């Protein structure tokens, strides 16, 4: 869930973006592609076109349903938007190792998925 | 959209409260989503005042409170498509099945007790 | 057999109506907490259709001073009886 406790700030260009203790944006409206790249850089990731298209899918999911998806619905949404080849957990695990639903939500500037441990 | 409504599964969540007045409906939907996220087969029964959760055209509350309409639309992304609605409650509110936000199977007479019997776990909200 | 558990009285809550609508022919209903008010002779008509399958928790009746007004058709059980009912049931469903 969205947290309101500011733990630290991330410098993106000349802006300071507030993050919660788990590294999610406090203000969802702070998000921009530059913020996503900066969040990814913190994790030692470079965002490729394959990352960006998933970020777009998950942002679309959020705008439609007002919630970040857990893993299963994320896989389903990616499959519906990008085709069955990409709508597989293996593909998402490769892009966002460990926990794709959480990592993708963070980079997309969305709250941490609620239904996902 | 096809109405796929098996009367068996792992979990039946019974939703008996209308949107906005309390958090019961939201909590029931959350329980269903968590179970589905972990691969359980989940059915929903909208009963009593809970059938109003399926009314079309819901919006945020007067103070901007989030409604549950978006969450209902999200159910299919969690593969929750076994939806059932109590017929007598629909009639009580003058609603017809075709006016609902989502396709749901009409539950009448004994079919509610069959639903309860057909699920390993039943939770009421 | 499912054990249904109701903790609201029929005098002020319609939870009993949803419970009855969901009961199969061999299911049982146990009244607890404020639900035991439904076991009074003046109220028990709401549960006519399940006569013989209606139970009430003794501790909740006596706490409210209502044990003497409990209808003779209601099967009164103590907490141990509650446990036995639960054990005999495939599952329990709560109504509130």
Say whether pLDDT at B29 is over 80.
Answer: yes
pLDDT at B123: 98
pLDDT at A97: 87
Query: DSSP class of residue B100?
Result: B
CB nearest to C2's CB, from B16, B47, B117 = B117
Is A36 assigned a catalytic role?
no
The full set of domains in chain A, from first to last, is 8-42 (3.30.1420), 49-107 (1.10.10.370)
Say whether pLDDT at B6 is over 80.
Answer: no
Q: Is the ipTM of this complex over 0.95?
A: no
Q: In chain C, which stretches have pLDDT less than 70? A: none
- Chain B residues with CB under 8 Å of A67 CB are 70-71, 74
Beta carbons of B48 and C91 less than 8 Å apart: no
Task: Report the C-alpha gap between C33 and C82 in whole angstroms.
Answer: 13
Q: In chain A, which stretches have pLDDT less than 70? A: 1-3, 115-117
pLDDT at A115: 67
The full set of domains in chain B, from first to last, is 9-55+67-124 (3.40.1260.10)
Q: Residue C28: give its domain's CATH number.
A: 3.40.1260.10
C-alpha to C-alpha distances, B121 to B7, C22, C53, C92, nearest whole angstrom = 13, 14, 22, 9
Reduced to 3 states (helix: H, G, I; strand: E, B; else coil), residue A23 is coil
Domain of C62, in residue numbers? 2-95
Query: How is residue A62 written in tokens?
Result: 């959020």
| Lookup result for tokens 């919660």 | A20
Buried b (16+ CB within 10 A) or exposed e, C48-81: eebeebbbbbbbbbeeeeebeebbeebebbeeee
- Chain B residues with CB under 8 Å of A66 CB are 66, 70-71
Tell me the mean pLDDT in the region B52-80.
91
Query: DSSP class of residue B93?
Result: T
- Cβ-Cβ contacts under 8 Å for A117 (sequence gap 6 or more): none
Beta carbons of B78 and A72 less than 8 Å apart: yes
Band of residue B1 on the pLDDT scale cut at 50, 70, 90: very low
């Amino acid at each position: 869930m969205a947290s309101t406790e500011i733990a630290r700030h991330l410098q993106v260009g000349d802006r300071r973006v507030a993050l919660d203790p788990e590294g999610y944006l406090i203000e969802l409206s702070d998000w921009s592609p530059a913020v996503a790249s900066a969040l990814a850089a913190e994790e030692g990731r470079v965002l490729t076109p394959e990352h960006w298209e998933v970020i777009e899918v998950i942002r679309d999911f959020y705008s439609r349903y007002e919630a970040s998806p857990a893993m299963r619905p994320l896989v389903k949404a990616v499959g519906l938007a990008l085709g069955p080849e990409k709508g597989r957990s293996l593909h998402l695990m490769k892009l966002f190792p460990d926990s794709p639903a959480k990592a993708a939500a963070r980079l997309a500037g969305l709250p941490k998925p609620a239904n996902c441990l | 959209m096809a109405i796929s409504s098996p009367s068996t599964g792992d979990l039946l969540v019974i939703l008996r409260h209308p949107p906005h007045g309390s958090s019961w409906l939201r909590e029931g939907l959350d329980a269903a989503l968590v179970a589905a996220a972990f691969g359980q087969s989940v059915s929903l029964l909208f009963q009593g005042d809970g059938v109003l959760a399926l009314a079309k055209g819901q919006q945020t509350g007067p103070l901007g409170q989030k409604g549950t309409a978006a969450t209902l639309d999200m159910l299919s992304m969690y593969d929750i498509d076994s939806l059932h609605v109590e017929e007598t409650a629909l009639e009580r509110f003058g609603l017809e099945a075709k006016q609902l936000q989502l396709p749901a199977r009409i539950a009448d007479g004994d079919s509610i007790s069959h639903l309860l019997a057909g699920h390993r776990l039943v939770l009421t909200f | 057999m499912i054990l249904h558990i109701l903790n609201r009285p029929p005098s002020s809550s319609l939870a009993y109506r949803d419970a009855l609508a969901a009961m199969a022919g061999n299911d049982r209903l146990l009244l607890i907490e404020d639900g035991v008010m439904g076991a009074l002779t003046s109220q028990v008509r709401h549960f006519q259709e399940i006569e013989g399958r209606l139970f009430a928790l003794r501790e909740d009746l006596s706490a409210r001073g209502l044990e003497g007004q409990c209808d003779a058709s209601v099967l009164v059980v103590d907490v141990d009886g509650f446990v036995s009912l639960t054990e005999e049931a495939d599952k329990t469903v709560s109504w509130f």
